[in-house]
Chain A
Amino acid sequence: MPRSLEQVLADVPLLHGLSTDEIALLAGCARNVRFGAKDFLFREDGAADVFYVVRQGLVALELYVPGRGPVTIETIEAGEVLGWSWLFPPYRWHFDARALSVVRATTFDAACLREKCDADPALGYRLMGRFAQVMIERLQATRLRLLDVYGNGDRR
């Protein structure tokens, strides 16, 4: 028996702890989507009018570097959030997001969600706190990778 969108959202780590009413509110801005391998979920400088929660598959966050081609910055997998540029103006994507396999995701309409958060600041605060947690985790991981810890060590 197919699960309702509310049931799907209740399993999303980002939304753990939200009330049933809040999940139902968010579900009003959400729908399930599917991408084939190599499909782009979004492109750099495109309008950031959605975000995704990946339910299945792997997504590469890429940046096109002249002379090198596309470079994968990070991959996003099942259970993780993809996209936070919808939170702040100018609401444009900074990277490309490309499916590395068949990807099933739940997408949230940004304008719809911002409107609901404006109308219910408590919900907006909780949601923003969860996104801040995701951002901090990725920032810390990126800082560690900047160290290039697998570079050459003892030069004997």
Chain B
Amino acid sequence: MATATVADARGLGAATPVPFQVVTRRRDTADTWTLELEPASGTGASVGPGQFMMVYAFGIGEVPVSVSGLPERGGGPIGLTVRAVGRVTEAICASEPGTVLGLRGPFGNVWPVDSARRGDVVVMAGGIGLAPLRSVVLRVLEERRTFGEVSLLYGARTPADLLYTDQLADWGRELAVEVTVDTAGADWPGRVGLVTKLLGPARFRPAQTTAFVCGPEIMMRFAARALLERGLPPERIQLSMERHMDCGIGLCGHCQLGPTLICRDGPVYSYAALSALLEVREL
């Protein structure tokens, strides 16, 4: 697991924000930015693919943000991709290099990338759901030869909403990268349709495939069903769940989903563990 200079989730940094400085800020779409942050001064801990940080814009508020860029082994910045949809996220996205934000974490479990080795991999992302999956893609690329067929299937609202467009082209040299959007103008040369349709031509051996899925919950529900129809075992379909998280440490209960607290037990679950809960409308 990569080493980051951020306070350990089990230590002081779990409850107290640690100052981090924005070192780079890149606009991905009209409302989404990727920031790289380094600790103003910090203690060591680990960040794994799929984990999230609680990010505090001082004086405004705090939100959970999935880690989209893991620190290099031996240290380096943490990448966070944030969509500006409210006061806090707008403030975070507006943070120029040099701005100090407060980080708690990392929280949550990790995508089981290691257990996918020697098999095929399907990464299915919807909208900003690609952000937490970016760390999976990068981890696979680090040791590409230890995986079989790898497909990244990515759906977004419009071509202008696609994240990491420059990186998608690079990734496409080593993975099968297929992209679709919900609607587009005549200048878009690619696919228009549901992300699940991309499964049709994707190459993988269902019984030896691990799927990593992240996006709006309804998209994940239909993606999981489509993967089951293709023959994937439910325990090899991994989903990253999102609920209203406030504390990140299993105290406030806002992210409760039936018997599980997503910040503490998740956010990554297998479909086998989650399918019954996804069918309960009251949750």
- Indicate, yes or no, whether A interacts with B: yes
Residues in chain A within 8 A of chain B (CB atoms): 58, 60, 62, 68-75, 77-79, 98, 100-101, 141, 144-145, 147-156
- Segment from B5-13, B39-47, B85-93, B166-174 that makes contact with A: B85-93
Interface presence of B63 (CB below 8 A): yes
Most buried by B among A60, A150, A155: A150
Are B192 and A73 in contact, CB atoms less than 8 angstroms apart?
yes
Count A/B pairs, Cβ under 8 Å: 88
29 A-B pairs (CB sep. < 8 Å): A58-B191, A60-B192, A68-B185, A69-B186, A71-B185, A72-B183, A75-B192, A77-B191, A78-B201, A141-B193, A141-B194, A144-B218, A145-B182, A145-B194, A149-B216, A149-B218, A149-B219, A150-B128, A150-B155, A150-B215, A150-B216, A152-B85, A154-B86, A154-B242, A154-B244, A155-B85, A156-B85, A156-B87, A156-B89
Q: How far is the CA of A155 from the CA of B128 in the complex (A)?
A: 14
Rounded to whole angstroms, the CA-CA distance of A62 and B186 in the bound complex is 8
Please judge, given known A-B contacts A156-B87, A156-B89, whether A150 and B161 are in contact too, CB under 8 Å.
Answer: yes
Contacts of B216 in A (CB 8 A): 149-150, 153
Q: Which residue of B lies closest to A141 (CB)?
A: B194
Question: In the assembled complex, which residues on chain A have CB atoms less than 8 Å from the CB atom of B242?
Answer: 153-154
How many Å from the CB of B194 to the closest CB on chain A?
5
A150 touches B182 (CB 8 A): yes
Identify the 3 closest CB pairs spanning chains A and B, nearest first: A150-B127, A70-B186, A150-B157
| CB of B231 closer than 8 Å to a CB of A | no
Report B196 CB to chain A, min CB distance, Å.
8
Least CB distance from A104 to B in Å reads 16
Other-chain contact of B61, A68, A71, A156 (Cβ < 8 Å):
A156
CB distance from A36 to the nearest CB of B (A): 14
**Given A70, A101, A144, A154, which contacts B222 in the complex, CB threshold below 8 Å?**
A144
Query: When the two chains form the complex, which single residue of A71, A141, A151 contacts B157, counting CB atoms closer than 8 Å?
Result: A151
Confirm or deny: B18 has a beta carbon within 8 angstroms of a beta carbon on chain A.
Answer: no
- Smallest Cβ distance from B51 to chain A, in angstroms? 18
CA distance A152 to B222 in the complex (A): 19
Whether the pair B185, A69 counts as a contact (CB closer than 8 A) is yes
Instruction: List residues 177-228 of chain B with CB under 8 A from any CB of chain A.
Output: 180, 182-186, 188-194, 197, 200-201, 215-216, 218-219, 222
B interface residues, Cβ below 8 angstroms from A: 61, 63, 83, 85-89, 126-128, 155-157, 161, 180, 182-186, 188-194, 197, 200-201, 215-216, 218-219, 222, 242, 244
Besides A101-B189, A150-B128, 12 more A-B contacts (Cβ < 8 Å) are A58-B191, A62-B186, A72-B186, A72-B192, A73-B183, A74-B192, A145-B193, A150-B182, A152-B83, A153-B85, A156-B63, A156-B89
What is the interface of chain B mostly: helix, strand, loop, or mixed?
A: mixed
* A144: nearest chain-B partner, CB-CB: B194
Q: Chain B residues with Cβ under 8 A from A149's Cβ? A: 126-127, 215-216, 218-219
A147 touches B218 (CB 8 A): yes
Residue contact B88 to A156, C-beta cutoff 8 Å:
yes
From A72, A151, A155, B185 is in contact (CB under 8 Å) with: A72
The CA of A153 and the CA of B155, in the complex, are separated in Å by 16
Which residues of B have CB within 8 Å of A101?
189
**Chain A residues positioned under 8 Å from B222 (CB to CB):** 144
Bound Cα distance from A71 to B192, whole angstroms: 10
A149 and B157 CA atoms in complex are apart in Å by 8
Q: CB-CB < 8 A to A155: which residues of B?
A: 85-86
A2, B67: Cα distance in complex, Å? 53
User: CA separation between A144 and B88, bound complex, in Å?
Assistant: 30
